[in-house]
């Protein structure tokens, strides 16, 4: 922080305010007038709050919009100038503040992480050995957990944070569609045991980030039962299928999970971020595991009943307002309204898949189960070529080239990536209710328009 060379010391109250209050009651302590609230400051604060709210909304809305750019990248030195980061002695006028808001949003990375998986890992560990809470992990056999190679990066981050270590996250093989292979899971659990490690948790995924794959929960639950392992299901992305009677079979076996992470906002609640951790337990596990907090909150006022926070609650949220937001949305739209959203998103996905199959030059990576549609565009020059090394090498360059043209034209944003031996492909994730059939048609038309001379 810098100070202007001509700045004054602490301001001795507000002159307007002094005029409002009869001078006989004015009280001055340490050079500060203490009568009445600081009304001017409050007005300024109100503006800041309003501006922030307005802009936050824009950020949140855009963050959940698949077609939005993740970031308008600028080098740090340029950002420093663009954003006018320096703090000054005096406040800035409203219009300047709004400009700053807009700039910050423009050049910020828009992301959300998920802490639900970490909370689940901590609960599983507590269940495995409650005394870890007091004693730590020192002197214990190496704890080990299992997840598929397609899982969310947050599992490694959580293992590192919880003192378990990233190397003790054991990756189970997946099949060609990205689903965990139960036989490989069981093999690796036995192997870990033989090495003297202590398996305690399996994290299955319902709806992987890239392919939208669903692990076979029922078979995985059998293995967890046999080995007394906690089954956590990361249904952050795929959990919304549970709202649809038509599509919930994707999560068959989820009732056997010990915990489930779910971000309903991804498909159900555009514009409202929400992440939930659902825990099945009738032994006060949550309370016992996190009781340091509970005892603090409830120590001061004796008329609180400490048992209030436990009992038959099965849904706990790491952030209370999240649970509240989802509850309100459910209340507002009803169960049928939420089901409609899921059905619509998956019907739109189906439409896109059918169009890709119909159109010349488009090729699906695989028949999707969910709303992640992965496909290649094969430009005319490659259509007659044999699918050998040269073909794949050339196809690998197509998606990046088309994306560059899209960005220059500003027509639309569509992600691409290589994945597990597949060369660069486009990935469209369909989220209801913002997109329509017309958007799907436009997407394919535009790719063809930009790529047909390649």
Give the angle 263-264-267 at the CA atoms, nearest 5°. Answer: 110
Q: Which of 420, 440, 432 is nearest to 209 (CA)?
A: 420
User: Which part of the chain contacts a second copy (CB under 8 A), choosing from 106-114, 217-225, 254-262, 388-396?
Assistant: 106-114
Nearer to a second copy, 330 or 391 (CB): 330
The candidate with the shortest Cα–Cα distance to 66, out of 345, 362, 392, is 345
Q: Is residue 432 a contact point for a second copy (CB under 8 A)?
A: yes
Minimum distance, C-beta of residue 134 to a second copy, in the bound complex (Å) = 5
Indicate the residue among 133 and 227 with the shorter CB distance to a second copy.
133
Cβ partners under 8 Å of residue 191, min gap 6: none
Using CB under 8 A, which residues numbered 25 to 64 contact a second copy? 27, 29-32, 34-38, 41-42, 44-45, 47-49, 51-53, 56-57, 59
**Contact status: 396 vs a second copy (CB under 8 A):** no
- Identify any residues that bridge with 232 across adjacent strands, giving them in sequence order: 203, 259
**Nearer to a second copy among residue 183 and residue 441 (C-beta):** 441
Residues 128-187 that bind a second copy (CB under 8 A): 132-143, 153-154, 156-157, 159-168
Distance CA 275, CA 315 (A): 11
**Whole-angstrom distance, CA of residue 277 vs CA of residue 233:** 10
How many residues bind a second copy, per CB under 8 A?
A: 137
Site for a second copy in 358-387 (CB under 8 A): none
For the segment 315-354, give every residue that binds a second copy (CB under 8 A).
320-321, 324-325, 327-337, 339-341, 343-344, 346-348, 350-351, 354
Query: Could you say which residues in the range 408-427 bind a second copy, by CB under 8 A?
Result: 415, 417
Stretch that binds a second copy, among 100-108, 172-180, 224-232, 357-365 (CB under 8 A): 100-108
CB 331, min distance to a second copy, A:
5
Quick one: which segment of 8-16, 249-257, 372-380, 384-392 binds a second copy (CB under 8 A)? Answer: 8-16
List, in order, residues 6 or more apart from 13 with CB less than 8 Å away.
28, 32, 33
Write the burial class of residue 112 (CB in 10 Å: 0-12 exposed, 13-18 middle, 19+ buried). Answer: middle
User: How many Cβ atoms from other residues are within 10 Å of residue 30's Cβ?
Assistant: 7
User: Distances from the Cα of 424 to the Cαs of 116, 260, 314, 397, in angstroms?
Assistant: 31, 32, 42, 7
Residues between 271 and 310 that touch a second copy (CB under 8 A):
271-272, 290, 292-293, 295-297, 299-305, 308
Q: Is 255 in the site for a second copy (CB under 8 A)?
A: no
Residue pair 135/160 in contact by the 8 Å Cβ criterion: no
């Amino acid at each position: 922080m810098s100070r202007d060379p001509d700045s004054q010391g602490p301001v001795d109250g507000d002159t307007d305010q002094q005029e409002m209050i009869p001078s006989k009651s004015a009280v001055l302590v340490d050079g500060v007038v203490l009568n009445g609230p600081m009304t001017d400051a409050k007005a300024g604060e109100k503006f800041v709050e309003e501006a922030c709210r307005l802009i936050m909304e824009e950020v949140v809305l855009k963050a959940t919009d698949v077609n939005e750019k993740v970031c308008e990248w600028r080098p740090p030195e340029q950002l420093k100038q663009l954003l006018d980061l320096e703090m000054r002695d005096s406040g800035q006028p409203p219009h300047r503040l709004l400009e700053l808001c807009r700039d910050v949003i423009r050049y910020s990375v828009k992301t959300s992480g998920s802490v639900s998986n970490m909370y689940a890992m901590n609960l599983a560990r507590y269940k495995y050995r409650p005394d870890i809470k007091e004693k730590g992990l020192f002197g214990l056999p190496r704890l080990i957990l299992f997840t598929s190679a397609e899982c969310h990066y947050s599992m490694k981050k959580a293992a590192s944070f919880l003192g378990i270590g990233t190397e003790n996250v054991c990756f189970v093989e997946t099949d060609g569609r990205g689903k965990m292979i139960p036989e490989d899971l069981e093999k690796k659990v036995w192997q870990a045991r033989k090495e003297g490690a202590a398996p305690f948790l399996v994290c299955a995924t319902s709806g992987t980030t890239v392919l939208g794959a669903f692990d076979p929960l029922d078979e995985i639950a059998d293995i967890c039962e046999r080995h007394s392992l906690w089954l956590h299901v990361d249904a952050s992305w795929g959990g919304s299928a549970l709202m649809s009677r038509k599509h919930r079979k994707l999560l068959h076996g989820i009732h056997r999970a010990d915990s489930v992470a779910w971000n309903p906002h991804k498909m159900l609640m555009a514009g409202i971020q929400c992440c939930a951790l659902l825990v099945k337990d009738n032994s006060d596990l949550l309370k016992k595991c996190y009781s340091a907090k509970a005892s603090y909150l409830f120590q001061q006022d004796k008329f609180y009943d400490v048992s209030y926070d436990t009992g038959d609650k099965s849904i706990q949220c790491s952030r209370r307002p999240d649970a509240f937001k989802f509850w309100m949305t459910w209340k507002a739209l009803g169960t049928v309204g939420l089901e409609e959203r899921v059905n619509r998103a998956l019907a739109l996905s189906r439409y896109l898949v059918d169009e890709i199959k119909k159109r010349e030059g488009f090729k699906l990576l695989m028949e999707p189960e969910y709303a992640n549609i992965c496909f290649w565009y094969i430009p005319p020059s490659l259509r007659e070529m044999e699918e050998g090394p040269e073909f794949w090498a050339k196809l690998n360059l197509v998606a990046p080239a088309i994306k560059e043209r899209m960005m220059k034209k500003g027509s639309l944003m569509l992600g691409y990536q290589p994945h597990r031996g597949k060369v660069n492909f486009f990935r469209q994730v369909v989220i209801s209710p913002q997109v329509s059939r017309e958007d799907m048609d436009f997407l394919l038309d535009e790719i063809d328009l930009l790529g047909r001379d390649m």
